């Protein structure tokens, strides 16, 4: 673990350069410009832990310490400011857990603290995850007034039997009601759905997608259910559709979304014109993000290095450590030899790929550092490239994991 000493900005640009150069060492990076910056806020509580979920979420049993946690988030953000001094924030994402468990007053307090401490872009995308089981019309009107301008709703399915199998706290009627409330209060929202669910048929998957498209959401996220390690489903695997059935569902999704006018721009993301998830795009294009809250991750660039951080995961440990000023459990500098893989791991998820010069802008390295892997991937028909774009082919998208691993050092 490499200890990290933040660069504190003062009044003169020269002072900042001197501070940056103080960390210059053999093999240091040379970023000509810092990438766009996002803020991620983690809310770690939910009503019930779903059997497929491997996120940092913890069941609410006797309530949760909202005021204490909001105070900790502010302290966390204040202590991180020297790392991002003077940089504008273009997107905010409040995820979990179930952030929509927060009271309207609590969310308003959080947004007020963010606006007070950070220079938010005037057109910032501010997204909040929400669970249909927590939807209340008046509360979501208040969320909108507080500054949330995009919702991401965890529908997962419109089928009551599948929702029960997934351990969701809402039923099919609540799922539909949640979308109606979102429509009434937000002009930008995402619906999260899953397919290849336990015992799900192709017709049932088709019905889920049809209902979702019928609501005309600006954005859809359609995820293949995976049995992640350390989850209930991993320990007690349910019967799920086989590979052929899953592939048929994927083809159906591609057809239905395309016919409805959605662009399939990332592995699991479909959007109407100019409705791509800007926060997620920043991740996939290897942008920067500051993460605050229990278990939140950060990636922050400096002129000659790129740093990752992780906060303490357990809510109690996080709250205790914030009081001591030590909420960052792990921090390290990304090794030069790992940057090519880390960039490609993200950027190859984009169906349209990326412009070749983006690699140098975001990593501080020349494209020659991954030339051998690019040539190999191109020779195998997994990658297309010219002077304008580098992108996975249709075959590369089908075997994305294999393609990404070709850039592993």
The answer to whether residue 400 is domain-embedded is yes
107 and 184 together in one domain = yes
270 and 352 together in one domain = no
Here the CATH number for the domain that contains residue 390 is 1.10.10.920
344 and 277 together in one domain = no
281, 307, 323 - which closes a domain: 281
Residue in 214, 102, 117, 120 with CA at minimum distance from that of residue 158: 214
Here the CATH number for the domain that contains residue 200 is 3.20.20.70
Beta bridge partners of 46: 59
Instruction: Reduce the DSSP state of residue 158 to 3 states and report it.
Output: coil
Q: Could you give the CA distance from residue 54 to residue 234 in angstroms, rounded to a whole number?
A: 10
374 and 256 together in one domain = no
Q: What is the pTM of this model?
A: 0.91
Domain count, the chain: 2
Residue in 90, 81, 75 with CA at minimum distance from that of residue 127: 90
pLDDT at 123: 97
Instruction: Reduce the DSSP state of residue 89 to 3 states and report it.
Output: strand
The answer to whether residue 17 is domain-embedded is no
pLDDT at 14: 33
Residue 215 · residue 191 · CB < 8 Å? yes
pLDDT at 186: 94
Find the radius of gyration of the CA atoms of the chain: 22
Residue 205 · residue 252 · CB < 8 Å? yes
Is beta strand 297-302 parallel, antiparallel or unpaired with respect to 269-271? unpaired
The answer to whether residue 305 is domain-embedded is no
Residue in 397, 152, 126 with CA at minimum distance from that of residue 271: 152
Instruction: List Cα–Cα distances, 84 to 10, 227, 326, 342, 372, in angstroms.
Output: 12, 37, 18, 21, 35
The answer to whether residue 193 is domain-embedded is yes
Range of the domain at 369: 340-409
122 and 221 together in one domain = yes
pLDDT at 28: 79
Residue 396 · residue 383 · CB < 8 Å? yes
pLDDT tens digits, the chain, 409 residues: what are they?
333 333 333 233 333 433 444 444 556 788 999 999 999 999 999 998 998 998 999 999 889 999 999 999 999 999 999 999 999 999 999 999 999 999 999 999 999 999 999 999 999 999 999 999 888 888 889 999 999 999 999 999 999 999 999 999 898 999 999 999 999 999 999 999 999 999 999 999 999 999 999 999 999 999 999 999 989 998 999 999 999 999 999 999 999 999 999 999 999 999 999 999 999 999 999 999 999 999 999 999 999 999 999 999 999 999 999 999 999 999 999 999 999 999 999 999 999 999 999 999 999 999 999 999 999 999 999 999 999 999 999 999 999 999 999 999 7
Instruction: Provide the 8-state DSSP code for 296.
Output: -
DSSP string, 340-381: HHHHHHHHTTBTT-B-HHHHHHHHSS-GGGGHHHHHHHHHTT
Instruction: Reduce the DSSP state of residue 168 to 3 states and report it.
Output: coil
The answer to whether residue 69 is domain-embedded is yes
The answer to whether residue 304 is domain-embedded is no
94 and 186 together in one domain = yes
Q: Could you give the CA distance from residue 191 to residue 150 in angstroms, rounded to a whole number?
A: 11
53 and 189 together in one domain = yes
Count of C-beta atoms within a 10 Å radius of residue 62: 4
88 and 182 together in one domain = yes
The answer to whether residue 369 is domain-embedded is yes
The answer to whether residue 2 is domain-embedded is no
CA angle 149, 155, 160 (to 5 degrees): 155
Q: Could you give the CA distance from residue 298 to residue 150 in angstroms, rounded to a whole number?
A: 22
């Amino acid at each position: 673990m490499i200890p990290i000493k933040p660069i504190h900005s003062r009044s003169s640009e020269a002072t900042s350069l001197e501070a940056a150069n103080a960390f210059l060492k053999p093999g240091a990076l040379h970023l000509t410009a810092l990438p766009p910056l996002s803020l991620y806020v983690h809310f770690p509580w939910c009503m019930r832990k779903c059997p497929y979920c491997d996120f940092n979420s913890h069941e609410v049993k006797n309530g949760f310490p909202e005021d204490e946690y909001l105070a900790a988030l502010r302290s966390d953000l204040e202590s991180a400011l020297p790392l991002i001094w003077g940089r504008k924030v273009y997107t905010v994402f409040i995820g979990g857990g179930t952030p929509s468990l927060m009271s309207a007053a609590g969310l308003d307090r959080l947004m007020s603290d963010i606006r007070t401490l950070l220079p938010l872009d005037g057109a910032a995308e501010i997204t909040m995850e929400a669970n249909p089981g927590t939807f209340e019309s008046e509360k979501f009107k208040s969320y909108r007034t507080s500054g949330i301008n995009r919702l991401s709703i965890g529908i997962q399915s419109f089928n009551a039997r599948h929702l029960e199998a997934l351990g969701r706290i809402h039923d099919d009627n609540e799922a539909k009601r949640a979308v109606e409330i979102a429509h009434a209060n937000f002009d930008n929202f995402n619906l999260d759905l899953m397919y290849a669910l336990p015992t799900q048929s192709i017709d049932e998957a088709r019905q889920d997608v049809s209902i979702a498209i019928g609501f005309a959401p600006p954005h859809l996220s359609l995820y293949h259910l995976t049995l992640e390690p350390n989850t209930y489903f991993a320990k007690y695997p349910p019967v799920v559709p086989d590979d052929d059935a899953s592939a048929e569902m994927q083809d159906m999704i591609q057809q239905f979304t395309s016919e409805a006018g959605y662009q399939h721009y990332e592995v699991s993301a479909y959007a109407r014109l100019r409705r791509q998830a800007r926060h997620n795009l920043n991740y996939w294009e290897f942008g920067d993000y500051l993460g605050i809250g229990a278990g939140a991750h950060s990636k922050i660039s400096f002129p000659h290095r790129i740093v990752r951080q992780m906060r303490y995961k357990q809510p109690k440990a996080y709250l205790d450590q914030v009081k001591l000023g030590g909420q960052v459990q792990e921090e390290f500098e990304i090794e030069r030899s790992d940057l090519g893989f880390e960039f490609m791991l993200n950027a190859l998820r984009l169906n349209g790929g990326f412009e070749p010069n983006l690699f140098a802008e975001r990593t501080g390295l020349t494209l020659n550092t991954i030339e051998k892997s690019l040539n190999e991937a191109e020779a195998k028909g997994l990658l297309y490239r010219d002077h304008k774009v580098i992108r996975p082919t249709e075959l590369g998208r089908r075997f994305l994991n294999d393609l990404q691993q070709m850039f592993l050092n």
